[in-house]
Amino acid sequence: MFPDSPNPTRVQDVPPGADPPMPLILIHDAGGTTFSYFLLGSLHRDVWAIHNPKYLDAEPWEGGMDEMARHYVDLIVEAGISGTVLLGGWSLGGYLSLAMARMLADDPSINLSIAGCLMIDSPYHVALSKWTVPATNPPRDGLPDLVLKSFDLSSAMLQHWDLPSWDGPACGGQDVEVGVAGRSFTLAPGTVLYKPLGGAWKPITARVYRHEETVDEPRAPPPAVVVRCTRSTPTPEGVSGRCRVDFYRDETLLGWEGNHADFVKAVFDIDDDHISVFDTYDRPKMNVLTAQLNECLEVLDGLRILDGLGSPSKQKPPPGSL
């Protein structure tokens, strides 16, 4: 919970006597701490959280995002966490999850397999140095100095960092079966499960990212569920324009559609803005968010690759996939 706590810190334990679903490891946002994740109710599984170990010293990561991601993989291994897990996080935590998943896909010697990613309002990322559209940042009034420093250091890392590349689509580009809220859906490549505000889950068509490389053993991203805020982020008083985090706000897949490896399998809309997802003072709101995240986790828990006959595939999936 605090920066001097064990890292990873155990946030939740699987309920006694339950058939445990996949554990979940949540990565900190740009603020560096994991306090937000302790506001959640039960996710019915073992949950760990990783905070930025350099938070208290306000030191940069000399190797940037990739050094940070590699260190976090090492922390997980040192903690004795192994087997099949889910990764995820809010904002920056989603990007770090993808970077960690790529590293693990490249290193089969580590007994850790990422079955899916839970990305909480992590829009498609473009290195900030490549931006040509004016943008601003959310208001920072009242934030602790160390959090402000962490934001600045995170922005510096994102100046020239690009998302990790992949050799192929999630799940080998095959049809998948997803069960959620008592219903079952079959999703072909280019189809995403979507839950709009006040609506029910429904399949929608998405543009498919074109993979340029073909290799014998493609490294594919884990399938992901994206939690998408539908409100625009407030801007500082007297500042016009949009916050950078809202550049893809009006796109159902938050910019991922057609722009990156095909890994988003579901999108869940929530009635919130990026900086207010976790509200320390609103317990009923956190109860709602907990229920929403449990629904997203249900998608990842039950996702199955189908063979050409519409049955669960018994073939070994590509590295980094389910």
CATH classification code of 9-171+191-302: 3.40.50.1820
Provide φ and ψ at 270, rounded to 5°.
Answer: -130, 150
Report pLDDT digits (tens) over 193-203: 999 999 999 99
Burial of 130 (0-12, 13-18, 19+ CB in 10 A): exposed
Each domain of the chain, given as residue ranges in start order, spans 9-171+191-302
19 phi and psi, to 5 degrees?
-80, 105
Query: For position 213, what pLDDT does the model report?
Result: 61
The per-residue pLDDT for 315 is 39
What is the structure's pLDDT at 313? Answer: 56
Residue type, 236: P
Q: Residues of the chain whose pLDDT is less than 50?
A: 1, 314-322
Q: What local confidence, expressed as pLDDT, does residue 309 receive?
A: 53
| Whole-number pLDDT of residue 321 | 36
Rounded-to-integer distance, Cα 140 and Cα 114, Å: 34
31: helix, strand or coil: coil
Classify burial at 16, counting beta carbons within 10 Å of its beta carbon; exposed 0-12, middle 13-18, buried 19 or more.
exposed
Please report the pLDDT score of residue 142 as a whole number. Answer: 87
> Would you say the C-alpha torsion 178, 181, 184, 188 has a positive or negative sign?
negative
